[in-house]
Amino acid sequence: MNYYDENDLGHFADVGKHRPDLFEKFMAWYQACQEDGALSRREKALIGLAVAHALQCPYCIDAFSQSCLEAGSHMEQMTEAIHMAAAIRGGAALIHGVQAHNSVNKVSM
Protein backbone atom coordinates (compact mmCIF):
# COMPACT_ATOMS: atom_id res chain seq x y z
CA MET A 1 0.00 0.00 0.00
CA ASN A 2 1.26 3.44 -0.90
CA TYR A 3 0.57 6.44 1.31
CA TYR A 4 -0.52 9.56 -0.57
CA ASP A 5 -1.22 8.04 -4.00
CA GLU A 6 -2.38 10.85 -6.32
CA ASN A 7 -5.21 8.64 -7.55
CA ASP A 8 -6.64 8.57 -4.02
CA LEU A 9 -7.96 12.08 -4.54
CA GLY A 10 -10.43 10.67 -7.04
CA HIS A 11 -11.67 8.24 -4.39
CA PHE A 12 -12.51 10.88 -1.82
CA ALA A 13 -16.20 9.99 -2.05
CA ASP A 14 -15.37 6.51 -0.70
CA VAL A 15 -14.95 8.16 2.68
CA GLY A 16 -18.72 8.62 2.67
CA LYS A 17 -19.41 4.95 2.24
CA HIS A 18 -20.39 4.20 5.84
CA ARG A 19 -22.02 7.50 6.81
CA PRO A 20 -23.14 9.09 3.53
CA ASP A 21 -25.33 11.58 5.41
CA LEU A 22 -22.32 13.07 7.16
CA PHE A 23 -20.22 13.10 4.01
CA GLU A 24 -22.95 14.80 2.02
CA LYS A 25 -23.25 17.48 4.67
CA PHE A 26 -19.50 18.00 4.58
CA MET A 27 -19.43 18.23 0.78
CA ALA A 28 -22.31 20.72 0.65
CA TRP A 29 -20.54 22.90 3.21
CA TYR A 30 -17.13 22.46 1.56
CA GLN A 31 -18.46 23.47 -1.86
CA ALA A 32 -20.54 26.36 -0.52
CA CYS A 33 -17.44 27.76 1.17
CA GLN A 34 -15.72 28.05 -2.20
CA GLU A 35 -18.45 29.91 -4.08
CA ASP A 36 -18.15 33.61 -4.89
CA GLY A 37 -19.20 35.67 -1.91
CA ALA A 38 -17.67 38.59 -0.08
CA LEU A 39 -14.45 36.96 -1.26
CA SER A 40 -14.04 35.80 -4.85
CA ARG A 41 -13.50 32.16 -5.83
CA ARG A 42 -9.99 33.16 -6.82
CA GLU A 43 -9.21 34.63 -3.39
CA LYS A 44 -10.69 31.58 -1.72
CA ALA A 45 -8.59 29.26 -3.87
CA LEU A 46 -5.45 31.14 -2.82
CA ILE A 47 -6.49 30.86 0.83
CA GLY A 48 -7.08 27.13 0.26
CA LEU A 49 -3.62 26.79 -1.27
CA ALA A 50 -2.01 28.57 1.68
CA VAL A 51 -3.89 26.49 4.25
CA ALA A 52 -3.06 23.31 2.32
CA HIS A 53 0.62 24.15 2.67
CA ALA A 54 0.27 25.02 6.33
CA LEU A 55 -1.39 21.62 6.85
CA GLN A 56 1.07 19.99 4.45
CA CYS A 57 -1.76 17.96 2.92
CA PRO A 58 -0.62 16.68 -0.50
CA TYR A 59 -4.17 16.07 -1.69
CA CYS A 60 -5.17 19.62 -0.80
CA ILE A 61 -2.02 21.08 -2.34
CA ASP A 62 -2.75 19.27 -5.61
CA ALA A 63 -6.44 20.20 -5.61
CA PHE A 64 -5.94 23.85 -4.72
CA SER A 65 -3.02 24.30 -7.13
CA GLN A 66 -5.43 23.28 -9.90
CA SER A 67 -8.19 25.47 -8.44
CA CYS A 68 -5.87 28.47 -8.42
CA LEU A 69 -4.91 27.97 -12.07
CA GLU A 70 -8.53 27.50 -13.07
CA ALA A 71 -9.46 30.65 -11.18
CA GLY A 72 -6.87 32.60 -13.21
CA SER A 73 -4.04 32.93 -10.69
CA HIS A 74 -0.42 32.73 -11.78
CA MET A 75 2.61 31.27 -10.06
CA GLU A 76 3.80 34.57 -8.63
CA GLN A 77 0.49 34.99 -6.79
CA MET A 78 0.41 31.35 -5.71
CA THR A 79 3.98 31.58 -4.43
CA GLU A 80 3.10 34.66 -2.37
CA ALA A 81 0.20 32.72 -0.81
CA ILE A 82 2.57 29.85 0.05
CA HIS A 83 5.00 32.32 1.61
CA MET A 84 2.15 33.67 3.75
CA ALA A 85 1.48 30.17 5.04
CA ALA A 86 5.17 29.54 5.66
CA ALA A 87 5.69 32.93 7.32
CA ILE A 88 2.77 32.43 9.69
CA ARG A 89 3.94 28.92 10.52
CA GLY A 90 7.42 30.30 11.13
CA GLY A 91 6.05 33.18 13.14
CA ALA A 92 3.89 30.82 15.18
CA ALA A 93 6.98 28.80 16.08
CA LEU A 94 9.00 31.89 16.86
CA ILE A 95 6.37 33.57 19.05
CA HIS A 96 6.54 30.49 21.29
CA GLY A 97 10.03 31.66 22.08
CA VAL A 98 8.26 33.97 24.54
CA GLN A 99 6.99 30.85 26.31
CA ALA A 100 10.55 29.63 26.55
CA HIS A 101 11.62 32.98 27.94
CA ASN A 102 8.77 32.89 30.45
CA SER A 103 9.68 29.35 31.48
CA VAL A 104 13.32 30.19 31.90
CA ASN A 105 12.53 33.43 33.73
CA LYS A 106 10.26 31.60 36.14
CA VAL A 107 13.08 29.39 37.42
CA SER A 108 15.88 31.88 37.10
CA MET A 109 17.14 34.42 39.67
Please tell me whether residue 87 binds other proteins under the rule CB under 8 A. Answer: no
How many chain residues touch other proteins (CB under 8 A)? 12
Check binding of 80 to other proteins (CB under 8 A). Answer: no
Nearer to other proteins, 41 or 89 (CB): 41
Contact flag: residue 79 with other proteins (CB under 8 A): no
Q: How far is CA 106 from CA 48, 93, 95, 101, 109, in A?
A: 40, 21, 18, 8, 8
Identify the DSSP state of 4: T
Which range binds other proteins by CB under 8 A, 21-29, 71-79, 81-89, 100-108? 71-79
Core vs surface per residue 69-102: b (16+ CB within 10 A) or e = eebebeeeebeebbebbeeeeeeeeeeeeeeeee
Which of 40, 56, 79, 103 is the binder for other proteins (CB under 8 A)? 40
> Interior CA angle at 25 toward 22 and 31, to 5°?
135
Quick one: 5 or 19, whose CB is closer to other proteins? Answer: 5
Binding site for other proteins (CB under 8 A): 10, 40-42, 66, 69-72, 74-76
